[in-house]
Amino acid sequence: MKNIIDGGFKGQIYPINPKGSKILGWACYPSLINIPIDKIDLVIIVVPAKFIPGVMEDAAKKQANCAVIISGGFREAGNDDLELSVIETAKKYGIRFIGPNCQGITYTPNNLCAAWPLMKSKGNMAIISQSGTVGAAFAGWTKEDNLGLSSFVSLGNKSDIDEIDLIKYFSVDQSTKVIGMYLEGVKDGRAFMNIGRSIVNKKPIIVLRPGRTHKGSIAAQSHTKSIAGDYKIFDAACKQVGIIKADTVYELYDFSKIFSLCKIPKGNRCLIITSSGGSGILATDVAEKNNVNILTLKSETKDILHQSLPSHCIIGNPLDLTGDTNAERYYEVVKKLKNIDYIDIVLLVFGDPIPNAADFAKKMKDEVSQEIVTCYIGGGDIQTKEVLNLHQVGIPTFPTPERAMRAISALIQYKNFFQKSILGLEK
Amino acid sequence: MKNIIDGGFKGQIYPINPKGSKILGWACYPSLINIPIDKIDLVIIVVPAKFIPGVMEDAAKKQANCAVIISGGFREAGNDDLELSVIETAKKYGIRFIGPNCQGITYTPNNLCAAWPLMKSKGNMAIISQSGTVGAAFAGWTKEDNLGLSSFVSLGNKSDIDEIDLIKYFSVDQSTKVIGMYLEGVKDGRAFMNIGRSIVNKKPIIVLRPGRTHKGSIAAQSHTKSIAGDYKIFDAACKQVGIIKADTVYELYDFSKIFSLCKIPKGNRCLIITSSGGSGILATDVAEKNNVNILTLKSETKDILHQSLPSHCIIGNPLDLTGDTNAERYYEVVKKLKNIDYIDIVLLVFGDPIPNAADFAKKMKDEVSQEIVTCYIGGGDIQTKEVLNLHQVGIPTFPTPERAMRAISALIQYKNFFQKSILGLEK
Q: Among residues of chain A, what percentage have pLDDT more than 70?
A: 97
Residue B421 clears pLDDT 70, i.e. is over it: no
Question: Taking the CB of residue B217, how many other CB atoms lie within 10 A of it?
Answer: 22
In one-letter notation, the amino acid at residue B344 is D
Looking at residue A426, its pLDDT comes to 41
Nearest to B354 by CA among B338, B374, B334: B374
Tell me the chain B residues in contact with residue A220 when contact means C-beta distances shorter than 8 Å: 281
- CB atoms A276 and B379 under 8 Å: no
Looking at residue A177, its pLDDT comes to 98
- CB atoms B284 and A216 under 8 Å: yes
**Are the C-beta atoms of A31 and A19 separated by less than 8 Å?**
no
Residue in A138, A279, A285 to test binding to B, most B beta-carbons within 10 Å: A285
The pLDDT-based confidence of B189 (bands split at 50, 70, 90) is confident
Tell me the chain A residues in contact with residue B380 when contact means C-beta distances shorter than 8 Å: 117, 136, 140
Q: What is the pLDDT of residues A137-162, one digit of tens each?
A: 999 999 999 999 999 999 999 999 99
Q: Is the ipTM of this complex over 0.90?
A: yes
Q: What is the pLDDT of residues B42-65, one digit of tens each?
A: 999 999 999 999 999 999 999 999
Looking at residue B226, its pLDDT comes to 59
- CB atoms B276 and A116 under 8 Å: no
Q: Which CATH architecture has domain B2-98?
A: 3-Layer(aba) Sandwich (3.40)
Shortest CA gap A293–chain B (Å): 10
Shortest CA gap A88–chain B (Å): 23
The CA-based angle B149-B151-B155, given to 5 degrees, is 135
Q: Among residues of chain B, what percentage have pLDDT more than 70?
A: 97
The pLDDT-based confidence of A221 (bands split at 50, 70, 90) is confident
Residue B424 clears pLDDT 70, i.e. is over it: no
Low-confidence winner among A221-225, A372-376, B338-342 (lowest mean pLDDT): A221-225
| Sheet arrangement for strand A66-69 | A43-45, A66-69, A96-98
Looking at residue B225, its pLDDT comes to 62
Please check whether the two domains, B2-98 and B264-426, share a CATH topology. Answer: yes
pLDDT averaged over chain B?
Answer: 93
**Are the C-beta atoms of B383 and B358 separated by less than 8 Å?**
no
Shortest CA gap B61–chain A (Å): 31
In whole angstroms, give the CA distance from residue B366 to residue B360.
Answer: 10
Residue in B285, B382, B406 to test binding to A, most A beta-carbons within 10 Å: B285
Tell me the chain A residues in contact with residue B215 when contact means C-beta distances shorter than 8 Å: 284, 287-288, 294
Domain B264-426 has CATH 1.10.8.100: no
Looking at residue B179, its pLDDT comes to 98
In whole angstroms, give the CA distance from residue A227 to residue A217.
Answer: 9
Q: What is the pLDDT of residues A16-30, one digit of tens each?
A: 998 878 999 999 999
Looking at residue B349, its pLDDT comes to 98
- Output the CA–CA distances (angstroms, integers) from residue A144 to A141, A385, A387, in the order listed: 5, 11, 9
Q: Which residue of B has its CA nearest to A401?
A: B249
- CB atoms A278 and B320 under 8 Å: no
In one-letter notation, the amino acid at residue A175 is S
Tell me the chain A residues in contact with residue B117 when contact means C-beta distances shorter than 8 Å: 353, 378, 380
Residue in A46, A76, A133 to test binding to B, most B beta-carbons within 10 Å: A133
The pLDDT-based confidence of A220 (bands split at 50, 70, 90) is confident
Tell me the chain A residues in contact with residue B223 when contact means C-beta distances shorter than 8 Å: 277-278, 280-281, 314, 320
Q: Which residue of A has its CA nearest to B139?
A: A378
Q: Which CATH superfamily is domain B104-260 in?
A: Succinyl-CoA synthetase domains (3.40.50.261)
- CB atoms B281 and A320 under 8 Å: no
pTM above 0.90, yes or no: yes
Shortest CA gap A425–chain B (Å): 33
In whole angstroms, give the CA distance from residue A167 to residue B104.
Answer: 53
Nearest to B134 among A133, A278, A323 (CB): A278
What's the average model confidence in pLDDT over B272-293? 97
What's the average model confidence in pLDDT over A79-102? 96
- DSSP states along A163-188: HHHHHHHHHS-TT-SEEEEE-S--S-
- DSSP states along A79-92: -HHHHHHHHHHHHH
pLDDT averaged over chain A?
Answer: 93
Question: Which CATH number applies to A108-260?
Answer: 3.40.50.261
Looking at residue B224, its pLDDT comes to 64
- CB atoms A378 and B318 under 8 Å: no
Q: What is the pLDDT of residues B357-390, one digit of tens each?
A: 999 999 999 999 999 999 999 999 999 999 999 9
What's the average model confidence in pLDDT over A400-413? 98
- CB atoms B212 and A285 under 8 Å: yes
Residue in B82, B226, B253, B282 to test binding to A, most A beta-carbons within 10 Å: B282
- Output the CA–CA distances (angstroms, integers) from residue A422 to A177, A290, A371, A411, A416, in the order listed: 15, 21, 15, 12, 10
The pLDDT-based confidence of B263 (bands split at 50, 70, 90) is very high
Low-confidence winner among A81-90, A131-140, B14-23 (lowest mean pLDDT): B14-23
Nearest to A346 by CA among A285, A392, A411: A411
Tell me the chain A residues in contact with residue B325 when contact means C-beta distances shorter than 8 Å: none
In whole angstroms, give the CA distance from residue A162 to residue B160.
Answer: 63
Q: What is the pLDDT of residues A363-383, one digit of tens each?
A: 999 999 999 999 999 999 999
Shortest CA gap A316–chain B (Å): 8
Q: What is the pLDDT of residues B225-259, one digit of tens each?
A: 655 567 788 888 899 999 999 999 999 999 999 99
Low-confidence winner among A15-29, A54-68, A136-150, A402-416 (lowest mean pLDDT): A15-29
- CB atoms B219 and A280 under 8 Å: yes
- CB atoms A278 and B250 under 8 Å: no
Looking at residue B227, its pLDDT comes to 55
Q: Which residue of A has its CA nearest to B101?
A: A323
Nearest to A276 among B133, B248, B288 (CB): B133
What's the average model confidence in pLDDT over A63-81? 93
B120 burial level (CB within 10 Å; 0-12, 13-18, 19+):
middle
- CB atoms A377 and B72 under 8 Å: no
The CA-based angle B109-B397-A3, given to 5 degrees, is 130
> Contacts from A230-238 at CB under 8 Å and sequence distance 24+?
A233/A189, A234/A186, A234/A189, A234/A209, A237/A189, A237/A192, A237/A193, A237/A196, A238/A196, A238/A207
Shortest CA gap A93–chain B (Å): 29
Boundaries of every domain in chain A: 2-98, 108-260, 264-426
Partner residues linked to A269 by β-bridges: A293
The pLDDT-based confidence of A228 (bands split at 50, 70, 90) is low
In whole angstroms, give the CA distance from residue B296 to residue B352.
Answer: 26
Low-confidence winner among A51-55, A219-223, B407-411, B417-421 (lowest mean pLDDT): B417-421
Q: Which residue of B has its CA nearest to A132?
A: B276
User: For residue A32, what is the DSSP state?
Assistant: G
In one-letter notation, the amino acid at residue A322 is T
Tell me the chain B residues in contact with residue A99 when contact means C-beta distances shorter than 8 Å: none
Residue in A71, A248, A282 to test binding to B, most B beta-carbons within 10 Å: A282
- CB atoms B132 and A311 under 8 Å: no
Residue B127 clears pLDDT 90, i.e. is over it: yes
User: For residue A262, what is the DSSP state?
Assistant: -
Looking at residue B427, its pLDDT comes to 34
Nearest to A131 among B129, B224, B276 (CB): B276
- CB atoms A279 and B134 under 8 Å: yes
CB pairs under 8 A between A and B: 220
CA B166 to chain CA centroid, nearest Å: 14
Residue A412 clears pLDDT 60, i.e. is over it: yes
Tell me the chain B residues in contact with residue A316 when contact means C-beta distances shorter than 8 Å: 219, 222
Tell me the chain B residues in contact with residue A280 when contact means C-beta distances shorter than 8 Å: 219, 223
